[in-house]
Chain A
Amino acid sequence: MAANVVRLRRALGRPGVWVAVCAVTIVALVMFPAAALWPLVAAAAPAAMFAAVVTAYEQAAAFRARYPEYGGGTGDREGTARPGHPERADGDTPGAGES
């Protein structure tokens, strides 16, 4: 039981799980375009995406705290003082990753 709770908490801490929930909700709307689904999509899809983005920022913050010498491990070299040691004084979550 406790192990399952831990597994669930770990899963909910992954942005990918929330992105999948968001995607499933939108796909459900396309496949079953019933009027009853619209309020569900309007609430569930953005809520899942919000959760995904918040967990992603938390993951990035934890990563920065663990690997301060890598500047968050995002590979963003903008404003780098020394190669491999980016300046992170502004606390920015760098924009090397983009979508």
Chain B
Amino acid sequence: MTPPEPRLPLLTRALTGPPGRWLLPLGALTGLLLLYSVSAPGGYFGPALLGGVLALTLAVIWIPRFVVGLARADGRPGLRRHWARWAAVPLMAAVVAGLGSAGVPQDVRFALSRASLEQAAQAVSTGAEPEGGSRRIGLFSVSSVVKTGGGVSFGLPDTGFLDTHGFAWFPAGAPPEEPETSYEHLEGPWYEWRRTW
């Protein structure tokens, strides 16, 4: 009977090997979480915090492994051989940072929900549907739908840190001046609002 082949400890092999079955899915999950966190006005604080901690953890794991692998003669062949896996994490980070800073997640989510929001806004403004609390409209969870100054305001739960945020629909023109609420025009009759705490 031949003795078993000696092997390095799992952690040592993981630290000297390329990113794989744990780090890459964790990177993808972190990216999705961060994109979701900026997909509504004001952002979602909880997912942003969790995504930030995961991104920090990924950076702390990935950067030293890459730098040491690059610096050592016995690490460089591994980097060359598995370059695609090594490139995947920074590539994901760049894509997430680019999409997030350009506001793409919110634009896409709003565009996909706009028809449903418009339908709800018209129904509430004409009285066909009552004003009310929590419901799902398009891809957004809405905490309140209320008539306001000739338009309809949609509150978004869990957005912002201390402020509250949402969308507003003003078909007749610009929203009225309000002391604690600021509006930013999105497109057509749609505005994004922010109510300071």
Interface residues of A, Cβ cutoff 8 Å to B: 15-16, 19, 22, 26, 29-30, 41, 45-46, 49-50, 52-54, 56-57, 59-61, 63, 67, 70, 72-75, 78, 84, 90-99
10 other A-B residue contacts (CB within 8 Å) besides A74-B7, A91-B74: A15-B11, A50-B67, A50-B68, A57-B72, A57-B75, A73-B5, A92-B81, A93-B77, A98-B22, A98-B23
Q: Tell me if A98 and B15 are in contact (CB < 8 A).
A: no
Please provide the chain B residues from 11 to 63 with a CB less than 8 Å away from any CB of chain A in the complex: 11-23, 53, 56-57, 60-61, 63
Q: In chain B, what residue has the closest Cβ to A25?
A: B60
CA distance A84 to B72 in the complex (A): 26
Q: Which of B20, B65, B74, B77 contacts A53 (CB 8 A)?
A: B65
Q: Which of B14, B61, B68 contacts A97 (CB 8 A)?
A: B14
Cα–Cα distance between A52 and B68 once the two chains are bound (Å): 10
Q: Is the CB of B19 within 8 A of A98?
A: yes
B: number of interface residues (CB 8 Å): 39
State whether B68 touches A95 (Cβ < 8 A): no
A46 and B23 form a contact (CB under 8 A):
no
On whether A97 and B16 interact (CB within 8 A), knowing A30-B53, A53-B64, A74-B7, the answer reads yes
Q: Are A26 and B60 in contact (CB under 8 A)?
A: yes
**B82 within 8 Å of A (CB atoms):** yes
What are 7 pairs between A and B in contact, CB < 8 Å? A15-B15, A49-B65, A53-B65, A73-B5, A84-B5, A97-B10, A99-B15
Residues of chain B within 8 A (CB-CB) of A75 are 5, 7
B103 lies within 8 A of chain A by Cβ: no
Return chain B residues, CB-CB under 8 Å to A50. Answer: 64, 67-68
Bound: A75/B17 CA distance, A: 12
Enumerate chain B residues within 8 angstroms of A54, measured Cβ to Cβ: 68
Q: Interface code B75-91, partner A: CB below 8 Å = 1, 0 otherwise?
A: 10110011001000000
A60 touches B14 (CB 8 A): no
Give bound CA distance, A3 to B20, whole Å.
Answer: 39
A59 and B68 alpha carbons, distance in the complex (Å): 14
Which of A30, A90, A92, A99 is within 8 Å of B14, CB to CB? A99
Contact across chains for B74 and A73 when beta carbons are under 8 A apart: no
B24 to chain A, nearest CB (A): 9
B-chain residues with CB within 8 Å of residue A19 when the two chains form the complex:
11, 15
